[in-house]
Amino acid sequence: MSDLHIQQPDSDATLKDWQYAHNVIISTHALSLDEVRERSQRHHLEIAYLDDGLVGCSTVRPPTDETLTATVIARVLTTHRRRGFGEELYARGLNRALELGAEVIETVVLSSNEDGLRFALKHGFVETERYLLPGDTVPWIDLRLS
């Protein structure tokens, strides 16, 4: 995996790449570029490339003082799955969450993303809740690392 390069989005071009990966994988909840810019101020975002090709992206929602719970989400485009890239994104996100003081790690997966759900369960997450957001037809699944 020496060709894999992971970085924080630091320009409109890389924010657009992050947006693209997010919106392809989470097609029921597409984000505008302005929404991605705003998220980049609140969350730790990363984007992964293999050579010059986009592989995926990740999000770490930092822990709050009240709960010490962080959310770690790794997203890998379908054509790059089952090659260890999700492992790398997830490990980096988990390390970042722990550096930020998280004591509890959660993730969220769109129920239609069977690969993502399988990945989370394989990594020790257990389902805590399924719900629909207003206007959605595909449930979200919250999971907690056990």
Question: Quick check: 1 pLDDT over 60?
Answer: no
For residue 64, give its domain range.
4-145
CATH number for position 108: 3.40.630.30
The conformational region for residue 101 under phi > 0 = left, psi -120 to 50 = alpha, else beta, is left
The model's pLDDT over 78-135, given as tens digits with 9 standing for 90+, comes to 999 999 999 999 999 999 999 999 999 999 999 999 999 999 999 999 999 999 988 8
Number of domain units in the chain: 1
Query: Largest alpha-carbon pair distance within the chain?
Result: 42
Angle at alpha carbon of residue 79, lines to 50 and 14, rounded to 5°: 45
The first and second tokens of residue 16, run together, are 């657009």
Closest by CA position to 60, among listed 100, 23, 26, 88? 100
